[in-house]
């Protein structure tokens, strides 16, 4: 076994960290939080220049052939910086779904994402189906799409959306323009922008259906696992910052004439956070590799375990971070509470803890069948 | 990044698995499967068997008689050992006094004591804790007074695991009370048969005898049994804390326990009981996975020549907590079946019959070897700089 990051991944991580340090402060975040359009032209161009738009995709489809590990390295830094630029929502998420769908139409659209022209979001969730992405409530009857999509993360700017729908017993992925739907836009827990879409007998054409049946299922399932791994990366970056900031605070904040870090109970909280962070890092490394494994059962078991673990311990670190900061920890003006919201958000997107515990149990049963 | 074992390592695993299948004695395998602890005879038979293969001291460097395995191979060996239902080996000789002797001991001491540990013939116990020196070990009072060619040892040790089995004790004693606490401590090897040394049993809440009090009244210990110099005892004790701890988390044995518990779920009364048990076990398995991958990282780092230092305390803390949680889950999932204490025939699934004893026994694991709170104090100071 070897847990060293490849040199290339380390370079990508370093570049991302430096770029965000120079270009994205807490003030940038607060400014963006108050905007409904999260696509800031200069930074968007800079990310394109850094090669991030092509990185997640295979060379055979016009990408730069980066691994999930590489993308996790970037997303970790985005989490650490609280960055709301919709890199995942408008590039990685729709791009990976299109790549996994792997049809001429989907790859043509992927091309336009990589070049930075397209503003496409993913609409794979609705409140009726919850996290069960293989059984959405949206219905495709003949040429008509009806139903709802919720929490369509789009940076507030998407003009097209990839939706999943059931066509009889068959899953289908359909690309359609936003303006075919009734759109309600809002902010999410982590400060990012999203929309609810209502489709009322929307007429679609054959070429708008990207894929169907098993092909669609496999694509959505691979997409789901990939996005789970990115959730973990984002949470790890945030937890890393909260831990560092809290440790620093404990070293400097004085009460009763001494630093609070000299109190044993605070020391033990921080050691707990240190150990949890170490284990979160282990789980991130694991899921960054296995989250794109060709073995579907192993892939699902890995992402389920990682997300379930993060929903418990990553959330725990940020809760404790607030506790140790005391009153200032619950204020909007300090970053700690914002990290807490980010981590809580990421623990609930793409499957919450119980959803992943169920997946983990099912994957274990399947594994036993194979053995 | 590579999360797979190499082909050579897979071959190694196969050969160890085969050997375990053919060589773990049936009575020992049955004892572990029942959740019971091996008695002295079983423990020693097993250690001698490993000793005869040269595998008992697998963590030792080759020059002192280790098999020359990598940390990964040692880890694989431990996994196969546990899944074959064989007990962990006693740490006192192999993992504690052995490394002390080949690091700090004289040539004569190495020659005298290492072979017996290697072959599983000499059983050791650890004389550290005292009635008033538990977590605050440096305040220990048992004193050794130099008297010509020997020391006279007087005082008392407590919580001495397996002192009633042991041939030898390695012991921290105070040789100088005029200097700073830590600097007045020395490391002595004491023959358990020496006149004036008395072992009294302490029964634990699992109903068994593991622990003892050891009393010293003018116990004569030859000066050649002093390891290193007088006053080096504390340095040696600290060395052991950072010595290789790649299996300290007990991952292999926790896997074995979880699998044992899984195999018993069908014996539960209702579907709801079974579902709740499956859910609870899955939570433990996820936590075990996080511990296991952290453990893999320490193993891989050790093989690269960059062993984890105090960070590995995290493995001890999380590992012991998880051992306790699994043992508690077993008792609670067994419910009524976990209540009988000294019956011959289990009233239900065999696995639950010893579960409460094991649960009681494992309350000690967050206390021994430096309580988890002490581990946290050390980490806060050494790693966090608090």
Residue A72's H or E segment, with its range, is helix A68-80
CATH superfamily, region A215-370: Butyryl-CoA Dehydrogenase, subunit A, domain 3 (1.20.140.10)
- CB-CB neighbors (< 8 A) of B289 in chain A: 283, 286, 305, 309
Partner-chain contact A275 B291, CB within 8 Å: no
Q: pLDDT digits over A75-114, tens only?
A: 999 999 999 999 999 999 999 999 999 999 999 999 999 9
Short-list A332, A316, A324, A315, CA closest to A248: A324
Could you tell me what percent of chain B has a pLDDT over 90?
88
A120-212: CATH, from 2.40.110.10, 2.40.30.20, 3.20.20.140, 3.40.50.1370 = 2.40.110.10
Minimal CA separation from B95 to chain A, in Å: 24
Q: Is A305 on the interface with B (CB under 8 A)?
A: yes
Q: Is A1 on the interface with B (CB under 8 A)?
A: yes
How many residues are present in chain B? 386
User: Does A275 sit within 8 Å of B3, measured CB to CB?
Assistant: no
| Residue B9 is among the residues annotated as catalytic for this protein | no
Nearest CA in chain B to A272: B376
Residues 257-286 of A with CB under 8 A from B: 261-262, 264, 266-268, 270-272, 274-275, 278-280, 282-283, 285-286
Residue A39 burial (CB count, 10 A):
18
Check the CA dihedral A74-A80-A86-A92 and report its sign.
positive
Q: Give the ranges where chain B is alpha helix by DSSP (H).
A: 7-23, 26-34, 40-53, 71-83, 91, 98-104, 107-118, 233-242, 251-263, 271-303, 313-334, 350-353, 355-362, 372-382
Which of chain A's residues have a Cβ under 8 Å away from the Cβ of B300? 1-3
Task: Measure in Å the smallest separation between the Cα of A242 and chain B Cα atoms.
Answer: 14
Nearest CA-CA partner of B97 in B180, B195, B170: B170
Cβ–Cβ gap A305/B286 under 8 Å: yes
Put simply, the answer to whether B285 touches A264 (Cβ < 8 Å) is no
- Angstrom CA distances, B27 to B50, B253, B370, stand at 16, 18, 33
**What are the boundaries of each domain within chain B?**
5-88, 123-230, 249-382
Scan residues 6-65 of B and list those with Cβ closer than 8 Å to A: none
Q: Is A135 on the interface with B (CB under 8 A)?
A: no
CB contact under 8 A, B299 and A1: yes
Mean pLDDT of B238-266: 87
Handedness of CA A18, A23, A27, A29 (dihedral sign): negative
Q: How far is CA A283 from CA A272, A308, A310, in A?
A: 16, 11, 9
10 Å CB burial of residue A201 (0-12, 13-18, 19+) is exposed
Low-confidence stretches of chain A (pLDDT < 70) are 368-371
> Residues of CATH 1.20.140.10 domain(s) within chain A?
215-370
Mutate to test the interface with A, among B10, B294, B308, B372 (most CBs of A within 10 A): B294
Interchain CB distance below 8 Å, B386 and A305:
no
Inter-chain touch A3–B300, beta carbons under 8 Å: yes
Question: Do B286 and A361 lie within an 8 Å CB cutoff?
Answer: no
Residue among A309, A313, A314 nearest A236 (CA): A314
Asked if B380 and A268 come within 8 Å (Cβ–Cβ), the reply is: yes
Which residue ranges does chain A devote to CATH 1.10.540.10? 7-114
ipTM of the complex: 0.96
Out of B278, B294, B301, the one facing A278 most closely (by C-beta) is B294
Inspect the interface and report whether the beta carbons of B286 and A5 lie closer than 8 Å.
Answer: no
Is residue B133 helix, strand or coil? Answer: strand
Q: Could you tell me if B286 lies within 8 Å of chain A, comparing CB atoms?
A: yes
Residue A369 has what pLDDT? 65
A-facing residues of B in 67-86 (CB < 8 A) are 72
Strands of chain A (E only): list them: 120-123, 139-141, 144-153, 160-167, 170-177, 182-187, 193-203, 209-212, 254-255, 258-259
Q: Pick the catalytic residue: B244, B257, B292, B349? A: B244
Q: B249-382 domain in CATH 3.30.390.30?
A: no
pLDDT, position B310: 77
CB contact residues (below 8 A), chain B span 210-269, against chain A: none
**CATH superfamily placement of domain B123-230:** Butyryl-CoA Dehydrogenase, subunit A, domain 2 (2.40.110.10)
pLDDT tens across B276-292, in order? 999 999 999 999 999 99
- Token pair, residue B95, equals 């993992």
pLDDT at A371: 43
Please tell us whether the domain made up of A7-114 is placed in CATH 1.10.540.10. Answer: yes
Would the pTM count as exceeding 0.80?
Answer: yes
Run of H or E including B130:
none
How many Å lie between the alpha carbon of A355 and the closest alpha carbon of chain B? 11
pLDDT value at residue A370: 53
Contacts of B201 (CB under 8 A, 6+ apart): B164, B209, B211, B212
Nearest CB neighbour to A278, from listed B4, B314, B377: B314
Task: List the structure tokens of A100.
Answer: 């996994």
pLDDT of residue A266: 97
Task: Give per-residue pLDDT as tens, B262-318.
Answer: 999 999 999 999 999 999 999 999 999 999 999 999 999 999 998 877 778 899 999
CB contact under 8 A, B300 and A2: yes
pLDDT digits (tens, 9 = 90+) for B360-370: 999 999 998 88
How far apart CA A137 and CA B183 sit, in angstroms, is 73
């Amino acid at each position: 076994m070897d847990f060293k990051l490849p040199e290339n991944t380390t370079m990508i991580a370093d570049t991302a960290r430096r770029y965000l340090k120079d270009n994205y402060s807490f003030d940038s975040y607060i400014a963006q939080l108050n905007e409904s359009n999260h696509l800031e032209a200069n930074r968007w161009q800079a990310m394109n220049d850094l090669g991030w738009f092509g990185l997640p995709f295979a060379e055979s489809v016009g990408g730069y052939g980066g691994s999930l590990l590489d993308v996790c390295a970037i997303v970790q830094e985005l989490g650490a910086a609280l960055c709301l630029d919709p890199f995942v929502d408008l590039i990685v998420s729709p791009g990976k779904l299109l790549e996994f769908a792997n049809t001429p139409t989907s790859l043509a659209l992927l091309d336009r994402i990589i070049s930075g022209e397209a503003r496409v979001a993913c609409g794979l969730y609705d409140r009726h189906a919850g996290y069960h992405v293989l059984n959405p409530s949206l219905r495709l009857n003949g040429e008509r799409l009806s139903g709802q999509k919720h929490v369509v993360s789009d940076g507030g700017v998407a003009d097209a959306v990839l939706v999943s729908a059931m066509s009889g017993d068959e899953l289908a992925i359909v690309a359609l323009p936003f303006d075919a739907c009734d759109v309600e836009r809002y902010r999410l827990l982590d400060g990012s922008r999203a929309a609810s879409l209502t489709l009322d007998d929307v007429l679609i054409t054959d070429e708008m259906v990207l894929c169907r049946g098993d092909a669609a299922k496999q694509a959505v399932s691979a997409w789901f696992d990939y996005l789970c791994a990115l959730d973990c990366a984002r949470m790890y970056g945030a937890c890393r910052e909260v831990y560092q900031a809290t440790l620093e605070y404990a070293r400097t904040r004085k009460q009763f004439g001494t630093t609070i870090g000299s109190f044993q109970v605070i020391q033990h909280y921080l050691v707990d956070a240190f150990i949890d962070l170490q284990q979160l890092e282990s789980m991130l490394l694991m899921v960054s590799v296995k989250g794109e494994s060709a073995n579907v059962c192993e892939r699902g078991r890995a992402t389920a375990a990682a997300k379930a673990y993060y929903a418990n311990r990553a959330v725990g670190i940020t809760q404790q971070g607030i506790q140790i900061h005391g009153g200032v920890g619950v204020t909007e003006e300090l970053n700690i509470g914002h990290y807490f919201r980010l981590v809580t958000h990421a623990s609930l997107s793409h499957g919450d803890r119980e959803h992943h515990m169920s997946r983990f149990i099912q994957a274990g049963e399947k594994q036993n069948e194979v053995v | 990044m590579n999360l797979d074992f190499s082909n050579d390592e897979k071959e190694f695993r196969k050969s160890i698995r085969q050997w375990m299948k053919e060589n773990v004695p049936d009575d020992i395998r049955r004892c572990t499967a029942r959740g019971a602890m091996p008695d002295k005879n079983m423990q020693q038979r097993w250690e001698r068997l490993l000793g005869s293969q040269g595998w008992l001291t697998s963590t030792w460097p080759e020059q002192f008689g280790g098999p020359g395995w990598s940390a990964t191979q040692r880890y694989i060996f431990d996994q196969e050992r546990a899944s074959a239902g064989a007990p962990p080996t006693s740490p006192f000789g192999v993992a504690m006094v052995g490394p002390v002797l080949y690091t700090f001991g004289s040539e004569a001491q190495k020659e005298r004591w290492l072979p017996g540990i290697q072959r599983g013939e000499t059983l050791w116990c650890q004389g550290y804790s005292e009635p008033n020196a538990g977590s605050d070990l440096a305040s220990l009072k048992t004193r050794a007074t130099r008297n010509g060619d020997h020391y006279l040892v007087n005082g008392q040790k407590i919580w001495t695991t397996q002192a009633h089995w042991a041939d030898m004790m390695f012991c921290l004693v105070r040789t100088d009370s005029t200097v700073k606490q830590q600097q007045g401590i020395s490391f002595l090897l004491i023959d358990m048969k020496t006149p004036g040394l008395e072992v009294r049993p302490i029964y634990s809440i699992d109903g068994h005898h593991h622990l003892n009090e050891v009393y010293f009244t003018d116990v004569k210990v030859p000066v050649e049994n002093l390891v290193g110099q007088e006053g080096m005892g504390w340095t040696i004790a600290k060395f052991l804390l950072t010595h290789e701890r790649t299996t300290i988390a007990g991952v292999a044995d926790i896997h074995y326990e979880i699998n044992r518990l899984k195999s018993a779920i069908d014996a539960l009364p209702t579907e709801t009981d079974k579902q709740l048990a499956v859910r609870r076990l899955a939570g433990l398995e996820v936590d075990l996975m996080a511990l296991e991958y952290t453990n893999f990282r320490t193993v891989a780092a050790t093989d690269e020549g960059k062993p984890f230092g105090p960070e590995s305390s995290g493995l001890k803390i999380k590992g012991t907590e998880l051992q306790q949680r699994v043992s508690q889950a077993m008792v609670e999932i067994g419910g009524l079946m976990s209540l009988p204490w000294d019956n011959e025939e289990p009233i239900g699934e065999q696995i639950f019959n010893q579960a409460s004893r094991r649960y009681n026994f494992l309350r000690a694991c967050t206390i021994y070897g430096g309580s988890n709170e002490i581990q946290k104090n050390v980490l806060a100071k050494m790693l966090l700089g608090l």
